[in-house]
Amino acid sequence: MSCLIVRRARFSAAHRYWLPELSAEENLQRFGPTTRIHGHNYTLLVSMLGPVDQYGMVLNLSDVKHVIKREVTTQLDLNTLNEVWPEFQATLPTTEHMARVIFDRLKPHLPVVRIQVFESDELWAEYQGEAMQAYLTVGDHFAAAHRLALDSLSFEENSEIYGLCARENGHGHNYHVEITVKGDVDPRTGMLIDLVQLQQVLKDKVLLPFDHTFLNKDVPYFAAVVPTAENIALHIRDLLEEPISSLGARLHKVRLIESPNNSAEVYTESYAPLL
């Protein structure tokens, strides 16, 4: 029986987005303030798959720690990424390209099946060894109220189904939404999508229309659809698929966190977990 284990590591590094074949004006137009050298506290998650041995382990985690430190974090920590590895000189050190390069560097030493690189709590990338294809996730939030009830049912019947969420004046949440897109990493820019444009699509299609609203009354779709976390996530998926496709990537997943205890995830295609 196989088991997936995950090891976390951290490093701090600087980088910039700058292509020498472009003029200063062209770089600034394309990459904005990221043309300046800036830094992040990165979190790295290394997922490994294998059978459990007689000692109850897939791998000795002490050995795993030393491999990751030797092959990755010691080399990158407190450095400027553009100057450290040749892979980051040929291709800009975006988060998605970093995940791909780290996967390739660890694969000879560990049974790696997934690399996740977190630039912040609201931006991270994932690579699973699929040629140039990677995943990029961005997150943001909105505040909204809703009421869970079907118009065809009485208050008592709705309360039987939805509990306190059926109360007539509704209630509110600070929603956190994460969208994951997938696509091929550009061999020069290191990007699978224009991040600024992706964030703008999320803002225009979801955050601005939903923020500080009573979803049942202010968002036309929910006049006829109960705004459960599941239905909100499905609607966000439908709103974002086409605009993201027009940017040259594919929407992979929408995750809506309604509270620390409740969340919903929807995918645009069948999803095969690593196990």
The catalytic residues are: 165, 212, 258
DSSP notation for 173-231: EEEEEEEEEEEEPPTTT--SS-HHHHHHHHIIIIIHHHTTEEHHHHSGGGGSS---HHH
Give the angle subtended at the CA of 174 by the CAs of 169 and 180, to the nearest 5°.
130
**Whole-number Å distance between alpha carbons of 41 and 27:** 24
Q: Enumerate residues 6+ apart whose C-beta is below 8 A from 204.
A: none
Alpha carbon separation from 110 to 7, 48, 53, 262 (Å, rounded): 11, 7, 15, 34
* CA 26 from centre of chain: 28
Contact 162, 148 (CB under 8 A): yes
Look-up of token digits 């600034």: 28
**Whole-number Å distance between alpha carbons of 118 and 10:** 9
One-letter identity of residue 109: H
